[in-house]
Amino acid sequence: MAFQGTPPGERHETDVVIIGAGPIGLFSVFELGLLDLKAHLIDILDRPGGQCTELYPEKPIYDIPGLPIVTGQELTDRLMEQIAPFGATFHVGQMAAGLEKLPSGRWRVTSDAGTVIEAAAVVIAAGGGSFVPKKPPIQGIEAYEGTSVFYAVRKMESYRGKDIVIVGGGDSALDWVLNLQPIAKSMTLVHHRDGFRAAQHSVNQMKALVDAGKMAFHVASVAALHGEGGRLASVSLTSKEKGTFDVPCDVLLPFFGLTMKLGPVAEWGLNLAENLVPVDTEKFETSTPGIFAIGDINTYPGKLKLILSGFHEAALMSQAAFKIARPGEKLRFQYTTSSSNLQKKLGVA
């Protein structure tokens, strides 16, 4: 069942609007919620999770504190469970398109679907911005997208028993070759050269499978797609050694990387440094007061692009956002382990 967000085109008021519903945006809901601040989230994807659910939902992550191993989807699910007590509102499948400072000092964010959200503070947690896959220059590929051609693997089981052709030479291509080969009817890797931009142990594993006759590897390029009704039957490959030849194919997975686009954020008058947003390290505020940037979208001396770093940034941002949203109230710092007030909010008191 698809994630159901709030219907587009409505007007809302809240304390903080968060642009981006990846792990950092989700954890911001928790930190803001502890301070009684309500949040609305806007994300261009059709569900929460950001790159974790879009690019590697079943790929293990090893550097989340306290979780020795967790997949991108599992991390998202746990974060959604953690923030459930705070009732965040999600606006998915929408891009934050407009930003306006109101005479009251509050901000008005407008999405490309006509949704209007007014808030005391704005948090940009958009990762690298809006990201789109780099598509191979194959004529007619659009007709097969979403049925036989996919740029990300969301559920491995849907590929069981398929003739799979993977195109690419980076970590994503090699990782999915190794993960999908055991359940595929056949596996073929295509790369334009016999050299890779992937971990050497992955390359060695792939070549061992080829030597054992369990998969095929061709130094070639995809010349044409063959099928009907959006369903692939085969692909034509071209190589110097073999010329043009056909390979059975139910599923084509091109992994040519992503094109990152900052999108409308670039037009909002913020100082930018190589498509990143500079921030201070006290509040993670941008050059514009009341607008914060956390996670991979920001930059500062010593910045590490790690999820755990973004979690830290979310905590400090929330403290500063409270002072903007509740200027007449005193901020009390409390620990969830000892505060009955916070435990009541979390439903564990």
If you average pLDDT over residues 273-280, what whole number do you get?
86
Taking all residues of the chain, what is their mean pLDDT, rounded to a whole number? Answer: 91
Q: What is the pLDDT of residue 132?
A: 60
Q: CA 37 → CA 127, 231, 294, distances in Å?
A: 22, 48, 17
- CATH superfamily, region 135-256: FAD/NAD(P)-binding domain (3.50.50.60)
Per-residue model confidence as pLDDT tens digits over 48-90 = 998 888 767 778 899 999 999 999 999 999 999 999 999 999 9
Most confident of the ranges 3-7, 41-45, 72-76, 253-257: 72-76
Per-residue confidence at 1, pLDDT binned at 50, 70, 90?
very low
Phi-psi region of 227 (alpha: psi -120 to 50; beta: other; left: phi over 0): left
Among 105-109, 179-183, 236-240, 264-268, the range scoring the smallest mean pLDDT is 264-268
- In angstroms, the CA 126 to CA 91 distance is 14
- In angstroms, the CA 105 to CA 146 distance is 44
The yes-or-no verdict on residue 165 having pLDDT over 70 is yes
How many beta carbons lie within 10 A of that of residue 89, not counting itself? 16
pTM: 0.68
What three-state secondary structure class fits 177? helix
Q: 11-131+259-346 and 135-256: same fold? A: yes
Per-residue model confidence as pLDDT tens digits over 129-144 = 555 667 888 999 999 9
Q: What is the pLDDT of residue 47?
A: 85
The DSSP element (H or E) to which 190 belongs, if any, is strand 186-191
CB contact at 8 A, 206 and 174: yes
- In angstroms, the CA 291 to CA 279 distance is 10
How many beta carbons lie within 10 A of that of residue 183, not counting itself? 15
Per-residue model confidence as pLDDT tens digits over 289-317 = 999 999 999 999 999 999 999 999 999 99
Domain borders along the chain are 11-131+259-346, 135-256
Which overall architecture, per CATH, does domain 11-131+259-346 show?
Answer: 3-Layer(bba) Sandwich (3.50)
The yes-or-no verdict on residue 91 having pLDDT over 70 is yes
Q: What is the pLDDT of residue 131?
A: 55
